[in-house]
Chains A and B, each alone.
Chain A
Amino acid sequence: DGGITQSPKYLFRKEGQNVTLSCEQNLNHDAMYWYRQDPGQGLRLIYYSQIVNDFQKGDIAEGYSVSREKKESFPLTVTSAQKNPTAFYLCATRIGRGQGTDTQYFGPGTRLTVL
Protein backbone atom coordinates (compact mmCIF):
# COMPACT_ATOMS: atom_id res chain seq x y z
CA ASP A 1 0.00 0.00 0.00
CA GLY A 2 1.72 3.17 -1.18
CA GLY A 3 1.66 6.46 0.61
CA ILE A 4 2.82 8.57 3.48
CA THR A 5 2.66 7.24 7.01
CA GLN A 6 2.74 9.38 10.11
CA SER A 7 2.74 7.79 13.49
CA PRO A 8 1.29 7.96 15.97
CA LYS A 9 -1.99 9.70 15.17
CA TYR A 10 -2.20 11.19 18.67
CA LEU A 11 0.76 11.92 20.91
CA PHE A 12 0.86 13.25 24.44
CA ARG A 13 3.96 14.52 26.18
CA LYS A 14 4.82 16.35 29.35
CA GLU A 15 6.19 19.85 29.11
CA GLY A 16 9.99 19.91 28.91
CA GLN A 17 10.32 16.59 27.10
CA ASN A 18 11.59 16.22 23.57
CA VAL A 19 9.39 14.19 21.25
CA THR A 20 10.02 12.76 17.77
CA LEU A 21 7.30 12.49 15.14
CA SER A 22 7.67 9.90 12.44
CA CYS A 23 7.12 10.39 8.70
CA GLU A 24 7.73 7.52 6.28
CA GLN A 25 6.99 7.36 2.57
CA ASN A 26 7.21 4.63 -0.04
CA LEU A 27 6.39 6.85 -3.00
CA ASN A 28 10.07 7.25 -3.93
CA HIS A 29 9.62 11.01 -3.71
CA ASP A 30 12.75 13.13 -3.39
CA ALA A 31 11.48 16.05 -1.33
CA MET A 32 9.86 15.96 2.09
CA TYR A 33 8.33 18.71 4.21
CA TRP A 34 7.06 19.30 7.73
CA TYR A 35 4.24 21.72 8.41
CA ARG A 36 2.47 22.80 11.52
CA GLN A 37 -1.29 23.46 11.43
CA ASP A 38 -3.00 25.55 14.09
CA PRO A 39 -6.69 26.52 14.06
CA GLY A 40 -7.21 29.65 11.96
CA GLN A 41 -3.51 29.80 11.04
CA GLY A 42 -3.30 27.59 8.00
CA LEU A 43 -0.15 25.56 7.40
CA ARG A 44 3.29 26.91 8.26
CA LEU A 45 6.50 25.33 7.01
CA ILE A 46 8.90 24.06 9.66
CA TYR A 47 11.64 22.24 7.69
CA TYR A 48 12.09 20.73 4.28
CA SER A 49 14.50 18.39 2.58
CA GLN A 50 15.21 18.03 -1.12
CA ILE A 51 17.60 15.08 -0.91
CA VAL A 52 19.07 12.69 1.61
CA ASN A 53 21.42 14.26 4.15
CA ASP A 54 20.27 17.76 3.28
CA PHE A 55 17.55 19.93 4.82
CA GLN A 56 16.66 23.58 5.20
CA LYS A 57 14.76 25.66 7.73
CA GLY A 58 11.31 26.85 6.90
CA ASP A 59 9.45 29.81 8.34
CA ILE A 60 9.10 28.53 11.91
CA ALA A 61 12.08 26.22 12.54
CA GLU A 62 12.93 27.45 16.04
CA GLY A 63 12.51 24.71 18.62
CA TYR A 64 12.46 21.92 16.02
CA SER A 65 15.07 19.64 14.47
CA VAL A 66 15.04 17.10 11.65
CA SER A 67 17.20 14.48 9.98
CA ARG A 68 17.13 12.88 6.54
CA GLU A 69 19.33 9.81 6.68
CA LYS A 70 17.15 7.81 4.32
CA LYS A 71 15.05 8.84 1.35
CA GLU A 72 12.00 7.22 2.90
CA SER A 73 12.16 8.89 6.29
CA PHE A 74 12.08 12.45 7.61
CA PRO A 75 11.54 12.49 11.39
CA LEU A 76 10.78 15.72 13.21
CA THR A 77 11.89 16.34 16.79
CA VAL A 78 9.96 18.85 18.82
CA THR A 79 12.37 20.04 21.48
CA SER A 80 11.71 21.58 24.86
CA ALA A 81 12.79 24.92 23.34
CA GLN A 82 9.59 25.07 21.28
CA LYS A 83 7.42 27.45 23.29
CA ASN A 84 4.03 26.31 22.03
CA PRO A 85 4.35 22.75 20.71
CA THR A 86 0.73 21.65 20.93
CA ALA A 87 -0.45 21.48 17.31
CA PHE A 88 -1.32 19.26 14.36
CA TYR A 89 1.82 18.29 12.44
CA LEU A 90 1.66 17.37 8.76
CA CYS A 91 4.31 15.71 6.66
CA ALA A 92 4.30 16.12 2.88
CA THR A 93 6.29 14.80 -0.05
CA ARG A 94 6.97 15.94 -3.59
CA ILE A 95 8.16 13.77 -6.43
CA GLY A 96 11.18 15.84 -7.47
CA ARG A 97 12.37 18.56 -9.76
CA GLY A 98 10.94 19.38 -13.13
CA GLN A 99 7.90 20.86 -14.78
CA GLY A 100 4.64 19.89 -13.22
CA THR A 101 6.15 18.45 -10.09
CA ASP A 102 5.12 21.19 -7.70
CA THR A 103 2.36 19.14 -6.18
CA GLN A 104 2.86 18.17 -2.56
CA TYR A 105 1.15 15.10 -1.14
CA PHE A 106 0.22 15.05 2.51
CA GLY A 107 0.20 12.42 5.21
CA PRO A 108 -2.59 11.94 7.76
CA GLY A 109 -0.91 14.06 10.42
CA THR A 110 0.02 13.68 14.08
CA ARG A 111 -1.79 15.64 16.75
CA LEU A 112 0.67 16.49 19.51
CA THR A 113 -0.57 17.64 22.88
CA VAL A 114 1.92 18.84 25.47
CA LEU A 115 0.55 18.75 28.98
Chain B
Amino acid sequence: AQSVSQHNHHVILSEAASLELGCNYSYGGTVNLFWYVQYPGQHLQLLLKYFSGDPLVKGIKGFEAEFIKSKFSFNLRKPSVQWSDTAEYFCAVRPPGAGSYQLTFGKGTKLSVIP
Protein backbone atom coordinates (compact mmCIF):
# COMPACT_ATOMS: atom_id res chain seq x y z
CA ALA B 1 0.00 0.00 0.00
CA GLN B 2 1.15 3.51 -0.73
CA SER B 3 2.13 5.38 2.36
CA VAL B 4 4.05 8.05 4.22
CA SER B 5 6.91 6.88 6.44
CA GLN B 6 8.53 8.74 9.28
CA HIS B 7 11.66 6.94 10.30
CA ASN B 8 11.96 7.93 13.92
CA HIS B 9 9.28 7.39 16.52
CA HIS B 10 11.01 9.37 19.27
CA VAL B 11 14.03 11.67 19.04
CA ILE B 12 15.77 13.10 22.09
CA LEU B 13 18.16 16.03 21.65
CA SER B 14 19.95 18.52 23.82
CA GLU B 15 19.34 22.22 23.26
CA ALA B 16 21.42 23.68 20.41
CA ALA B 17 21.75 20.31 18.69
CA SER B 18 20.81 20.07 15.02
CA LEU B 19 17.64 18.30 14.00
CA GLU B 20 16.71 16.24 10.98
CA LEU B 21 13.47 14.27 10.86
CA GLY B 22 12.99 11.91 7.98
CA CYS B 23 9.90 11.58 5.81
CA ASN B 24 9.53 9.33 2.80
CA TYR B 25 6.51 8.67 0.64
CA SER B 26 5.72 6.00 -1.89
CA TYR B 27 3.52 7.87 -4.38
CA GLY B 28 4.61 8.50 -7.94
CA GLY B 29 3.75 11.66 -9.80
CA THR B 30 3.21 15.14 -8.45
CA VAL B 31 2.61 15.40 -4.73
CA ASN B 32 2.10 18.24 -2.28
CA LEU B 33 4.05 17.91 0.95
CA PHE B 34 3.51 19.26 4.44
CA TRP B 35 4.99 19.22 7.90
CA TYR B 36 2.65 19.82 10.82
CA VAL B 37 3.57 20.20 14.48
CA GLN B 38 1.56 19.46 17.61
CA TYR B 39 2.93 21.18 20.71
CA PRO B 40 1.78 19.73 24.03
CA GLY B 41 -1.82 20.75 24.65
CA GLN B 42 -2.09 22.77 21.46
CA HIS B 43 -3.71 22.48 18.04
CA LEU B 44 -1.99 20.77 15.17
CA GLN B 45 -0.47 23.60 13.14
CA LEU B 46 1.30 23.94 9.81
CA LEU B 47 5.09 24.32 9.91
CA LEU B 48 5.73 24.46 6.18
CA LYS B 49 4.56 23.13 2.84
CA TYR B 50 5.87 22.39 -0.64
CA PHE B 51 3.79 22.63 -3.79
CA SER B 52 6.34 23.42 -6.52
CA GLY B 53 9.42 25.48 -7.27
CA ASP B 54 12.45 25.75 -4.97
CA PRO B 55 12.79 22.36 -3.27
CA LEU B 56 14.19 23.99 -0.14
CA VAL B 57 11.25 25.33 1.80
CA LYS B 58 11.46 27.58 4.82
CA GLY B 59 8.79 27.54 7.46
CA ILE B 60 8.00 29.08 10.80
CA LYS B 61 10.25 29.05 13.87
CA GLY B 62 13.46 28.43 11.89
CA PHE B 63 12.40 25.12 10.37
CA GLU B 64 13.12 24.14 6.79
CA ALA B 65 12.57 21.07 4.65
CA GLU B 66 14.10 19.80 1.45
CA PHE B 67 12.14 17.98 -1.21
CA ILE B 68 14.29 15.42 -3.02
CA LYS B 69 12.15 13.95 -5.77
CA SER B 70 14.57 11.17 -6.68
CA LYS B 71 14.54 9.94 -3.10
CA PHE B 72 10.80 10.50 -2.50
CA SER B 73 11.82 12.39 0.61
CA PHE B 74 10.85 15.59 2.42
CA ASN B 75 13.06 15.78 5.49
CA LEU B 76 12.57 18.45 8.14
CA ARG B 77 15.59 20.27 9.54
CA LYS B 78 16.50 22.87 12.11
CA PRO B 79 20.10 23.89 12.78
CA SER B 80 19.71 24.49 16.51
CA VAL B 81 16.75 23.23 18.53
CA GLN B 82 15.29 24.84 21.63
CA TRP B 83 13.41 23.36 24.54
CA SER B 84 10.25 24.95 23.11
CA ASP B 85 10.55 22.72 20.02
CA THR B 86 9.47 19.75 22.12
CA ALA B 87 6.43 18.49 20.23
CA GLU B 88 5.18 15.81 17.90
CA TYR B 89 5.90 16.34 14.20
CA PHE B 90 3.83 14.92 11.38
CA CYS B 91 4.69 14.65 7.72
CA ALA B 92 1.72 14.68 5.34
CA VAL B 93 1.35 14.11 1.62
CA ARG B 94 -1.40 14.99 -0.82
CA PRO B 95 -1.09 12.11 -3.28
CA PRO B 96 -1.59 12.65 -7.01
CA GLY B 97 -5.26 12.92 -7.90
CA ALA B 98 -6.40 12.89 -4.28
CA GLY B 99 -10.02 13.95 -4.05
CA SER B 100 -10.84 17.04 -2.03
CA TYR B 101 -7.19 17.57 -1.25
CA GLN B 102 -7.05 14.58 1.06
CA LEU B 103 -3.87 14.24 3.05
CA THR B 104 -2.13 11.06 4.11
CA PHE B 105 -0.18 11.47 7.34
CA GLY B 106 2.85 9.69 8.67
CA LYS B 107 2.74 8.19 12.14
CA GLY B 108 4.56 11.11 13.67
CA THR B 109 7.88 11.69 15.44
CA LYS B 110 8.02 12.85 19.01
CA LEU B 111 10.84 15.29 19.68
CA SER B 112 12.02 15.84 23.22
CA VAL B 113 14.56 18.62 23.74
CA ILE B 114 16.50 18.52 26.97
CA PRO B 115 17.54 21.89 28.42
Contacts and interface: CB of A to CB of B under 8 A. Distances in A.
Interface of A: 31, 35, 40-45, 48, 50, 56, 58, 90, 92, 94, 99-109
B108 to A, nearest CB: 5
A56 to B, nearest CB: 7
A31 B6 CA distance: 27
B99 A42 contact: no
Given A40-B9, A100-B51, A107 B105 contact: no
Given A42-B106, A102-B32, A102-B94, A31 B100 contact: yes
Given A102-B49, A104-B103, A42 B90 contact: yes
A105 B101 CA distance: 13
B102 A108 contact: no
**Which of B34, B44, B100 has the largest number of chain A CB atoms within 10 A?**
B100
Interface residues of B, number: 26
A58 B102 contact: yes
B100 to A, nearest CB: 5
A107 B44 CA distance: 8
Contacts, number: 56
Interface in B29-53: 32, 34, 36, 42-46, 49, 51
B90 A102 contact: no
Interface in B84-103: 90, 92, 94, 99-103
Given A42-B4, A100-B51, 12 more contacts: A31-B100, A43-B92, A44-B105, A45-B103, A50-B100, A56-B99, A94-B100, A102-B34, A104-B103, A105-B46, A106-B36, A107-B43
For the complex of A and B, 10 pairs with smallest distance between CB atoms: A106-B44, A42-B107, A43-B105, A42-B105, A50-B100, A102-B101, A42-B108, A102-B32, A106-B43, A108-B43
A50 B100 CA distance: 6
